[in-house]
Structure 1
């Protein structure tokens, strides 16, 4: 049995009420970590906490409503979670939105473009900024950002999302350089292709991915990668944006 090293560690997850964030919360709790989740919807937060506590009755699990792109809202949620958990060792930024999909550049409204950057980029930045004072005091501290293969490749009609996830990849590099040497904090990101989450289903306009002719990951598969990068067993891994795209980025255009 592999020991990932999370027993009695304190973990904060943004976007922890659904999708990859919720799956990661389940896995961390299963590894005997203490878990705090943040989500924008009080209703979804309550539902997620019930599910987590039912599945992990022995685990310490707390949650607070917060908007990752609102500094004061996040400060309040982070402060409360750290007080409840008794410290902070790992942060996972999973909060994100897809924004308008399918629109050409001249059809994308400026306010919609900015909203995607606000949540996906500013939200990631604030998650780091507001938790750093606590993480500096943590054990084997890490940030793991949830990016996307859309930060490396592009598809028509995804301009705002592509731009935001490209920024997350560079933010990962910059933070890994800035935080590792003085504070011992590792920063990495997981960058999947399509994952079967409510956001993906809504963005793709489907009720299910069953029978599609392209690969789709489960939230649990991507959450496992999150835990793998955050584990102290991965101490040498820093500044990495781990693509989880079934090898599509490695394919040549040569018609072979």
Structure 2
């Protein structure tokens, strides 16, 4: 077995009640970390905690309902979890929304566009801002954000989402520069293509991925990458937005 050096660490995961965030929380628990999750839905929070506790009996896990796009709501959730866990060593920003898909630019409501930026861009910023004082006191602290290949490539009908994930790539770089030298905090992002999550199924209108003609990752695939980057063994990795798209970004779209 590979020792990632995460046993005993204290971890906070936003968007931790489903999809990638839930898989990340479970993976940290499996490594012996204590985990706090933040999510907006009390019902999904209760179901997620029940699943995590059943899968990891005796593990130290706590959940707090909060909105990542509202500073005071998120600050209260972060401080509650940090207090419960005795501090924070790692935070993972997995909360995100897809927004309206399939609409052309002149049909995208301004309010809908801004809501995607509020959750997908302001949310990670506020996570780092509100967790910073705890991370400063943490052990080999890291912040890992969940981006997307949509921050590097684009398709019609995903304007708000593309813009938000492109911003996340630069936010990762900026935070990594600002926080590493004075505080030793590493900031990276993991940017998958399609992952089999409830959000992806709903957004793309799919009940199954069978026969789609392209690879689909599992949430556990992405969770492994998050833990690998957060590991103290990856101490040289900072400011990286890791594409996890099965190599599709390397393919030319030209027929020649």
SS of 2:32's equivalent? coil
Determine the structure 2 residue equivalent to 1:22.
22
Determine the structure 2 residue equivalent to 1:94.
94
Considering only aligned residues, what root-mean-square deviation do their CA atoms show, in Å? Answer: 0.8
1:48 equivalenced with 2:38 (yes/no): no
1:3 equivalenced with 2:3 (yes/no): yes
Determine the structure 1 residue equivalent to 2:146.
146
Determine the structure 1 residue equivalent to 2:239.
239
1:196 equivalenced with 2:196 (yes/no): yes
**How many pairs are equivalent?**
256
Q: Tell me: CA distance 1:253–1:205, structure 2 relative to 1, closer, same or farther (3 Å).
A: closer
Shift of 1:207: 1.5
| 1:32-181 equivalent positions in 2, closer than 5 A | 32-181=32-181
Shift of 1:255: 3.4
Determine the structure 2 residue equivalent to 1:220.
220
SS of 2:171's equivalent? helix
TM-score normalised over the length of structure 1: 0.99
Q: Using the alignment, how far apart are the partners of 2:147 and 2:253 within structure 1? A: 25
Shift of 1:252: 2.5
Q: Using the alignment, how far apart are the partners of 2:198 and 2:5 within structure 1? A: 30
Q: Using the alignment, how far apart are the partners of 2:190 and 2:93 within structure 1? A: 10
Shift of 1:75: 1.0
Determine the structure 2 residue equivalent to 1:184.
184
SS of 1:238's equivalent? coil
Q: Using the alignment, how far apart are the partners of 1:156 and 1:32 within structure 2? A: 43
SS of 2:72's equivalent? helix
Q: Using the alignment, how far apart are the partners of 2:223 and 2:210 within structure 1? A: 21
Shift of 1:211: 2.2
Name segments (4+ residues, structure 1) moved above 2 Å: 252-256
Determine the structure 2 residue equivalent to 1:206.
206
Q: Using the alignment, how far apart are the partners of 1:171 and 1:235 within structure 2? A: 20
SS of 1:114's equivalent? helix
Q: Using the alignment, how far apart are the partners of 1:140 and 1:60 within structure 2? A: 20
Q: Using the alignment, how far apart are the partners of 1:135 and 1:166 within structure 2? A: 25
The one-character-per-residue Cα deviations of 1:115-147 (angstroms, maximum 9, x if unpaired) are 000000000100000000000000000000000
Stretches of structure 1 that go unaligned for 5 or more consecutive residues are none
The one-character-per-residue Cα deviations of 1:72-114 (angstroms, maximum 9, x if unpaired) are 1111111110111011000000000000000000000000000
TM-score normalised over the length of structure 2: 0.99
